Structure 1
Amino acid sequence: MMNKPTKTIFTETIREELINRISLLNDNSNARWGKMNVFQMVKHNTYWNGWILGEDNHNYKQAFMGKIFGGIGLRKMIKDENPFDKNIPTSSQFKVREMDGDLEVEKLKWISLMKAYENYDNPDFIHDFFGKMTRAQIGILVFKHSDHHLRQFGV
């Protein structure tokens, strides 16, 4: 029998752990896998978390393939405590083209977004592949996504 995941962005100690790890990133942080540099990864996460939280004006629509396979994919990704696989694909809207920028400013944005999950309320959110998600599913996915990218850069 598999253990249900317990790490969620909606737990204060988990948010604090992620924030501490984000603060360890610096210009010398190198990827252990993938194509992004540290700035691109942080910028990817500020955009991605803003999308989940409903910051800015996002259009929420599930892709056709997601309507077919999204539920299965979501269950597979959040079924246990195992981290995400390396090199999982991201949809084009989350790919950061800029190669550099102010890392410290981006880190502060990401930290601010992590703190915003304390008061999460975005009933309009629909994942572009997974579709409509429960609060519990969102909490696990956000933790695993953040953990994945922080592990990618060794923190």
Structure 2
Amino acid sequence: MENVFDPKDAQNYINRINNLIEDTHGLWGRMMVDQMLAHCSVSYELVYEPEKHKKPGGIAKFILKKFVKPKVVSEKAYSHDSPTSPQFLIKERKDFDAEKKRLIGFIQKTQQLGAEAFDGKESFSFGVLTAKEWNNMFAKHLNHHLSQFGV
């Protein structure tokens, strides 16, 4: 698994994103490339812009921690067409260049803050995570969707 906190690995993600063009088509799924970029940014919005999203209630958070968290923070890759949480659904088209710039900014900010800033940090949905769990969550999600679009 790549390390999103490592400058070389973070730059690799940025290079892959920069290989996308506005009419890149996915190899599976229904999202357009601009929607995919916005979708990938949601993971970071939950960290850096949490006010944009409704926090899960007690029962929902329990279910997320018990059943979803193990799948999200493990190193096992997502399968194609994995289910998506409603807050990650991007239904409308987005500005490709703006979404690309935004996602790259989130990746750079995360790398610069480093693993220490995330170790023991509380997740919006999953409670306290280790730096490794944060890394797995970010890296696995990016890899899944960048692979979906052939980069």
Q: How far off is 1:73 after superposition?
A: 3.9
Unaligned runs of 5+ in 1: 1-5
Q: Calculate the aligned-residue CA RMSD, in Å.
A: 2.5
Q: How far off is 1:69 after superposition?
A: 5.9
1:1-155 aligned within 5 A: 6-52=1-47, 54-55=48-49, 57-58=51-52, 59-61=54-56, 64-68=59-63, 70-71=65-66, 73-80=68-75, 82-99=76-93, 101-117=94-110, 118-119=112-113, 121=117, 125-128=122-125, 130-155=126-151
Q: Normalization by structure 2: what TM-score? A: 0.81
Instruction: State whether residues 22 and 33 of structure 2, in contact with CA within 8 Å, keep that contact through their aligned partners in structure 1.
Output: yes
**1:125/1:148 CA distance change after superposition, 3 Å:** same
Aligned sequence identity (%): 26
Instruction: State whether residues 121 and 130 of structure 2, in contact with CA within 8 Å, keep that contact through their aligned partners in structure 1.
Output: no
Unaligned runs of 5+ in 2: none
Question: How many residue pairs are counted as aligned between the two chains?
Answer: 146
Q: Higher helix share goes to which structure?
A: 2
Q: Normalization by structure 1: what TM-score? A: 0.79
**1:74/1:47 CA distance change after superposition, 3 Å:** closer
1:3 paired residue number: none
Work out the CA distance in 2 between the residues paired with 1:108 and 1:131: 29
